[in-house]
Amino acid sequence: MSLPGSFKNLLDWTVGDGEMDGQPVAWINAASSGAPTGAMGAHAALRKVLGYTGSVIVEDACMRLPVERRLMGDDGAIADPAVRAQLAAVIERLGVEPANRAV
């Protein structure tokens, strides 16, 4: 599996002017645990596209985090404290200031 064309188009529009050059980036795959390959093809494609933008991929912030429905609150946000802690750790690895967190 690779990235959907619409997502590649989004990346083209958002990074086409060089604003991502040298910027730290990472991704979190928060899909369900049922995906047999863990979307490794999509990760490889995303890595390739972000490489074209000059972005700096923060490897230890990229992760697969299977999120089951039972871990979600009624509002659609992740309610499980352990999962929220994992997300907060990724944000810290990216160097985002705590006041700017949206976890």
Distance CA 87, CA 80 (A): 11
Q: Are the CB atoms for 48 and 54 separated by under 8 Å?
A: no
Per-residue confidence band for 101, with pLDDT thresholds at 50, 70 and 90 = very low
Distance CA 55, CA 69 (A): 32
pTM, to two decimals:
0.67
Q: What is the pLDDT at residue 89?
A: 87
Q: What is the pLDDT of residues 66-92, one digit of tens each?
A: 778 888 889 988 888 988 898 888 888
Domain boundaries, the chain: 5-97
Q: What is the pLDDT of residues 26-53, one digit of tens each?
A: 888 876 666 666 667 777 888 887 887 8
Q: What is the pLDDT at residue 100?
A: 45
